[in-house]
Amino acid sequence: MDTDCLDWALAAFAGYVAADALSEGPYCVRSAVANRPSKRILSQVLEHEPHHDDIHAFLGRLQEALEARALARKGITTAGSAL
């Protein structure tokens, strides 16, 4: 994601993220949204069903974006996938 756009999305970040995925056939769209301002922080499109390594990499990118801006994650709400 463009740095300026990510800076804008995280300007009012309160520490809480909602992360979810939508699978449609062989594709999967993942996204992470800052809860309070309802701004998308990160997204990813996969051409396959997500695997544990995909989820780990996605959440790692989220953590890197937060750490680069000295922001702390307080919680993540998910659908509770076993992945």
Does the residue 82 lie in any domain? no
Domain that holds residue 37: 3-77
Number of domains within the chain: 1
Asked whether the beta carbons of 68 and 10 are under 8 A apart, the reply is: no
Inside any domain, residue 35 = yes
Per the CB < 8 A criterion, the answer to whether 57 and 46 are in contact is no
Ordered per-residue pLDDT tens for the chain, 83 residues: 568 888 888 888 999 999 998 888 888 999 999 988 889 999 999 998 888 899 899 999 999 999 999 999 999 998 877 66
Confirm whether 33 is domain-assigned: yes
Q: What pLDDT shows up at residue 1?
A: 54
Residue 22 within any structural domain of the chain: yes
Does any domain span residue 63? yes
Identify whether 83 is part of a domain.
no
CA 63 to chain centre: 9
Q: Show the beta-strand stretches assigned E in 1-83.
A: 16-24, 27-34, 39-46, 75-77
Q: Which amino acid is at 34?
A: A
Quote the pTM value. 0.82
Q: Per the domain annotation, does 24 fall within a domain?
A: yes
- Beta-strand relationship, 39-46 and 75-77: unpaired
pLDDT of residue 73: 93
Residue at 37 is within a domain: yes
